[in-house]
């Protein structure tokens, strides 16, 4: 038994985090001497349930991946054993990304059909990244969005409330636990309970005691005393193990008896809005009330509607799994490919849905009220407004410094403040106006008509 059985990914094996078909195609492109320049566009087609916007996140991880991807001592022997020929393994051993990437900065609100990221490179390179890039950007954007909805709901009532990710245990694996903490911070959270995420991304870590601490002592009072004796003013006492109101009184007693300004208490079960009021009446103002268990944006709305009072919340499962909408369904599609030396629009035909071809720009128009509308255009069009995608990799070199997370979180807050309130609604949001430019619409129609004709469909 070794720790390998855990199934870690490291810089040496992350290159293998791709679908087999990406490798099969990569080899096939090479053996056919068919390695045209290609542009792939990452976007989502429609918003998940009850979502009016998505907050882009995960770019920093994509750049770290592109910058460090390698096929080394574990990857190559595996692929050899799987039957890939030596010529292809040599290509992988020497792999280096030489292309360009444009992307929307993290913390930007994005809407359907707007590229979050576009990769332009020899097709065999751009193809390889599909799986990992979708995985990272899709998940972090999903969680940043969920977090932003909670922050927005809280801010309507009280801007000083602390929101902490408590959901590592229910996240889908370790990477999700760590990345959800990062994405929640991007969305407006203050920190995480996850120590590995705190270490990896320099996030504030929160957490004091569980029910097991209280249960392990003969009485709740003894448990609180033992904790205060170690942590003093940093102590947050969990008061719902036996009876929340009695627990609040015991917590206050212990604080007075030990003559310590205990930081506060946490409630984790029961009728939380009502209990928060009861506890608030017992405790002095300088003791904080922290609420966890079942917290999401809908819980928060009801909590305030019922006049609950709290200084902080710890959303868990609903945050880290985006439980009501656990996928953004992002896609990474070939939109242009070099033919006869020229980049040529490309698409797939599908009944009932349009896949827009071409490398694109997203133009955002604002007025005095905030965001007014977006226009998705061919990149070679000039339709005005502010262009959302920026150059992040050129000729294989990362040319973009990811801002620190606090700056990204500020961007989210500034963006959200400009999104119309109806679009920000947590239930049945209004649709934000996103237009397809005349140029892109015309190119799409012409290409689809040509393809239908070639396929004998009309």
Q: Could you identify the residue written with the tokens 């500020």? A: 410
- Interaction with a copy of itself in 385-424: which residues (CB under 8 A)? 398, 402
199 versus 366: smaller Cβ distance to a copy of itself: 199
Closest distance of CB 380 from a copy of itself, Å: 20
CB 188 within 8 A of CB 411: no
Number of Cβ within 10 Å of residue 236's Cβ equals 22
Which DSSP string corresponds to 85-147? -HHHHHHHHT----SEEEEPPTT-EE-TT--SEEEEEEHHHHHHTHHHHHHHHHHHHHHHHHH
Q: Please identify which residue in 120, 241, 361, 415 interacts with a copy of itself, judged by CB under 8 A.
A: 241
Q: How far is the CB of 217 from a copy of itself (least distance, A)?
A: 7
DSSP 232: G
The CB-of-369 to a copy of itself minimum distance in angstroms stands at: 35
Q: How many CB atoms lie within 10 A of CB 32?
A: 8
Per-residue binding string, a copy of itself, 69-88, x by CB under 8 A, is -----xx--xx--x------
Measured from the Cβ of residue 70, the count of other Cβ atoms closer than 10 Å reads 17
Q: Does 346 bind a copy of itself (CB under 8 A)?
A: yes
End-to-end distance of the chain based on CA atoms, in angstroms?
Answer: 62
Choices 213-221, 283-291, 298-306, 364-372 (CB under 8 A): range interacting with a copy of itself = 213-221
Q: CA of 237: how far to CAs of 265, 277, 287, 298, in Å? A: 4, 17, 10, 26
Q: Which of 43, 185, 189, 201 binds a copy of itself (CB under 8 A)?
A: 201
215 binds a copy of itself (CB under 8 A): yes
CB of 364 to a copy of itself, least distance (A): 27
Name the phi and psi angles at 365, rounded to 5.
Answer: -110, 130
Q: Does residue number 229 form part of the binding site for a copy of itself (CB under 8 A)?
A: yes
Strand, helix or coil at 21? helix
Among 100, 130, 152, 311, binds a copy of itself (CB under 8 A): 130
Binding test (CB under 8 A) with a copy of itself, winner from 166, 189, 303, 356: 166
Q: Residues 340, 342, 347, CA angle at the centre, nearest 5°?
A: 100
Which residue number, 198 or 277, has a Cβ lying nearer to a copy of itself? Answer: 198
Residue in the structure block whose two tokens are 């797939």? 348
Among 149, 151, 179, 379, binds a copy of itself (CB under 8 A): 179
89 in contact with a copy of itself (CB under 8 A):
no
C-alpha span between 321 and 318 (Å, rounded): 6
Per-residue mark of binding to a copy of itself, 308-327 (x: CB under 8 A): ---------x---xxx--xx
* Cβ-based neighbours of 454, under 8 Å, separated by 6 or more: none
d(CA 69, CA 103): 19
Residues 263-282 that bind a copy of itself (CB under 8 A): 269-271
Among 112, 162, 175, 410, binds a copy of itself (CB under 8 A): 175
| Nearer residue to a copy of itself within complex by CB, 59 or 423 | 59
Query: Which is closer to a copy of itself, CB of 201 or CB of 303?
Result: 201
- Contact indicator for 54, 110 with CB cutoff of 8 Å: yes
Whichever of 294 and 370 has its CB closer to a copy of itself, that residue is 294
Among 149, 182, 378, 424, binds a copy of itself (CB under 8 A): 182
**Residue 349: HSE in the Cβ half-sphere, 13 Å Cα cutoff:** 13
Residue 285 or 455 having the CB closest to a copy of itself: 455
Do 94 and 417 contact (CB within 8 A), yes or no? no
We find the least distance from the C-beta atom of residue 58 to a copy of itself, in angstroms, to be 10
Tell me which residues in 17-56 interact with a copy of itself (CB under 8 A).
17-25, 27-29, 31-32, 34, 36, 38, 40
Give the binding-site size for a copy of itself (rule: CB under 8 A). 133
Residues 6 or more apart whose Cβ sits within 8 Å of residue 191: 162, 164, 165, 185, 198, 203, 204, 205, 206
Residue 135 interacting with a copy of itself (CB under 8 A)? yes
Site for a copy of itself in 359-388 (CB under 8 A): none
Q: Residue 408 — φ and ψ, nearest 5°?
A: -65, -40
Binding part of the chain for a copy of itself, among 144-152, 344-352, 407-415, 416-424 by CB under 8 A, reads: 344-352
Query: Which of 3, 159 has the CB closer to a copy of itself?
Result: 3
Q: How far is the CB of 161 from a copy of itself (least distance, A)?
A: 19
Which stretch in 215-223, 256-264, 303-311, 412-420 sits in contact with a copy of itself by CB under 8 A?
A: 215-223
Q: Which of 43, 53, 61, 148 binds a copy of itself (CB under 8 A)?
A: 61
Question: In a 10 Å sphere around its CB, with 0-12 CB exposed, 13-18 middle and 19+ buried, how is residue 94 labelled?
Answer: exposed
């Amino acid at each position: 038994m070794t720790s390998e059985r855990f199934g870690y990914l490291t810089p040496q094996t992350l290159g293998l985090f791709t679908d087999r078909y990406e490798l099969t195609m990569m080899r096939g492109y090479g053996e056919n001497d068919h390695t045209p320049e290609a542009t792939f566009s990452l976007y989502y087609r429609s918003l998940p349930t009850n979502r009016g916007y998505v907050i882009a996140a995960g770019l920093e991880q994509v750049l770290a991946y592109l910058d460090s991807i390698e096929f080394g001592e574990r990857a190559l022997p595996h692929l050899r054993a799987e039957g890939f020929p030596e010529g292809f393994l040599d290509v992988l051993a020497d792999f280096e990304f030489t292309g360009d990437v444009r992307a929307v900065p993290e913390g930007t609100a994005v809407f359907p059909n707007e590229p979050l990221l576009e990769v332009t490179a020899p097709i065999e390179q751009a193809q390889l990244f599909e799986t990992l890039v979708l995985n990272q950007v899709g998940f972090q954007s999903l969680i940043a969005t969920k977090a932003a909805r909670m922050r927005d709901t809280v801010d309507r009532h009280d801007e000083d409330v602390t929101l902490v990710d408590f959901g590592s245990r229910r996240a889908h694996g370790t990477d999700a636990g760590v990345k959800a903490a990062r994405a929640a911070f991007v969305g407006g959270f203050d920190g995480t309970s996850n120590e590995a995420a705190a270490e990896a991304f320099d996030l504030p870590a929160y957490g004091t005691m569980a029910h097991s601490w209280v249960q392990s002592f003969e009485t709740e009072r003894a448990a609180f005393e033992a904790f205060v004796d170690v942590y003093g003013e940093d102590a947050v006492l969990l008061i719902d193990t036996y009876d929340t109101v009695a627990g609040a009184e015991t917590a206050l007693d212990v604080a007075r008896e030990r003559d310590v300004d205990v930081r506060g208490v946490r409630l984790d079960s029961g009728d939380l809005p009502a209990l928060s009021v009861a506890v608030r009446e017992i405790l002095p103002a300088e003791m904080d009330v922290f609420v966890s268990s079942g917290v999401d944006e809908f819980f928060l709305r009801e909590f305030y509607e019922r006049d609950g009072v709290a200084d902080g919340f710890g959303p868990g499962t609903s945050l880290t799994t985006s439980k009501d909408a656990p996928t953004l369904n992002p896609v990474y599609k070939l939109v242009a490919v070099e033919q006869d030396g020229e980049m040529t629009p490309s698409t797939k035909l599908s009944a009932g849905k349009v896949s827009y071809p071409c490398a694109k720009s997203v133009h955002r128009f604002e007025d005095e009220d905030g965001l007014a509308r977006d226009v998705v255009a061919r990149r070679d069009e000039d339709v005005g407004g502010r262009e959302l995608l920026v150059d992040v990799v050129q000729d294989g070199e990362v040319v973009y410094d990811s801002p620190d997370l606090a700056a990204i979180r500020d961007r989210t807050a500034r963006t959200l403040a400009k999104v119309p309130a109806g679009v920000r609604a947590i239930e049945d949001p209004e649709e934000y106006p996103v237009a397809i430019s005349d140029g892109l619409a015309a190119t799409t129609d012409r290409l689809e008509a040509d393809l239908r004709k070639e396929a004998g469909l009309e």
